Amino acid sequence: MRSLILTLSLLFFLLSSLAADAQQYLYLKRKGDFPAYRWQQGDLLELKVRNGDEEFWLSGDFVRADSNRIVFGTKIIRKEDIVALRLDNGLMPFFGKAAMAGATIFPAIIIFNAIINNETPLIRPLTVYLSLGFLAGGYALNRFGIRRFYFKDGWYLEHIDFNQD
């Protein structure tokens, strides 16, 4: 019985070590500081990339990296072409988008209700102020809920591969 437990424990340990085989990480760092963020394979990355004079945002899952390139999704990006990186700050962008959607739906419901009930002022000033408040608050939550790290400010990406010899 004891040898069966030992055999099963060894088998479980070997199977759990197989899942940890592909260990590549990407760290966002600034010189002299601790890493600010870490991605492992399969995590979502949002990068601002330079292509000549044009800059645009790309997003995809982190697949792998080496000293010169990052592969995320189906795209291969050189590290020197990366301008910035952005991260969502929890649920703040979600609530910001929800508030902005509510700012457009709320007056539509009020106007639709006033048309059905034959009310003369279709929309009141309080409704406009409330909608503008939701719109401004939602925009602020969405804007401040996304953190941007610009590489010109000293941030850089460091690749660590535990599979290398």
Over residues 47-91, the pLDDT tens digits come to 999 988 899 998 888 888 887 888 887 888 888 899 999 888 788
Q: How confident is the model at residue 133 (pLDDT cuts 50, 70, 90)?
A: very high
Tokens 């902005």 correspond to: 100
Token output for 84: 């910035």
Mean pLDDT of the 118-141 span: 92
Farthest-apart Cα atoms in the chain, separation: 86
Token output for 164: 């290398």
Do residues 152 and 20 make contact, with C-beta atoms less than 8 angstroms apart? no
The C-alpha angle with vertex 95 and arms to 93 and 100, in degrees rounded to 5, equals: 95
